[in-house]
Amino acid sequence: MGLNDFQKQKIKFTFDFFLDYNKDGSIQWEDFEEMIKRYKEVNKGSLSDADYKSMQASLEDEWRDLKGRADINKDDVVSWEEYLAMWEKTIATCKSVADLPAWCQSRIPFLFKGMDVSGDGIVDLEEFQNYCKNFQLQCADVPAVYNVITDGGKVNFDLARYKELYYRLLTSPSADAGNTLMGQKP
C-alpha cells in the first residue's frame, strides 16, 4: 500500500525543510554544508569546534547512507521523486524509530540540539518559539502547539519526546502530534 496524500505532504515537508537547504528541488552534499552553517548561526556560537567536527562527520555519514538508499541513478543528487520512493519503501516496514534509516536516526539528536539552544536537554516554550521563527515555520499559535508537544505539561520536550514526534511526523498516515515539528497542531 502506497503513501496517502497527507503522508506525501509531510515527506515533502521533510525534504524541503530539513534537507533541501538551497531550495533547488534536490538534495546534494552542498545542502548538508549549508545546514551546518545555518545551525551555527541559529545556535549563535554554542557549537564548539568539537561539536562542529562531530556534526560534519555525522552529516558526511548521513549523506553517504541517504545516497545509497535513494540515489537510484547514482548521479550524487537525490531528487524529490527518489526521496519519495525511498520513503514509500521505508514506511511500509517501519514499526519504530529503530527501523528508520541510519541517516535519519543519526539526524535526530542533531535536529534536537538545533532546538535546545540552552543545552539543558529540554526544549522550553521560548526555545520552541525561536525555532519556529528562525526556521520560518508558519505557526499561528506557538503556545498551543507547544502544549500538544508537552501533552498539556505532562511530559518534557526532551530528546526522547523529539524522537517519538519525529517518527510520527514521518510515518503517521493522519494528523497527530508529529505535526507539531512542522509548527502545526494535529
Q: Residue 94 corresponds to which amino acid?
A: C
User: Is residue 41's pLDDT more than 90?
Assistant: no
Query: Looking at the DSSP assignment, which residues form a beta bridge with residue 26?
Result: 79
Q: Which residues contact 143 (CB under 8 A, 6 or more apart)?
A: 125
pLDDT at 186: 74
pLDDT tens string 149-178: 999 999 999 999 999 999 998 889 888 888
Indicate whether 15 pLDDT > 80.
yes
Q: Whole-model pTM? A: 0.80
pLDDT at 47: 66
- Structural domains of the chain, with CATH: 5-182 (1.10.238.10)
Give me the pLDDT at residue 56, please.
83
Alpha helices in 23-158 (DSSP H): 29-42, 49-70, 80-93, 102-115, 125-134, 142-149
Burial of 98 (0-12, 13-18, 19+ CB in 10 A): exposed
User: pLDDT for 129-148, tens place per residue?
Assistant: 988 887 778 888 999 999 99
Quick check: 42 and 129 in contact, CB under 8 A? Answer: no
14 near 86, Cβ under 8 Å? no
Pairing of strands 78-79, 26-27: antiparallel
Q: Residue 104: what pLDDT? A: 86
Q: How far apart are CA 171 and CA 163, in angstroms?
A: 12
* Confidence band, pLDDT 50/70/90 cuts, at residue 46: low
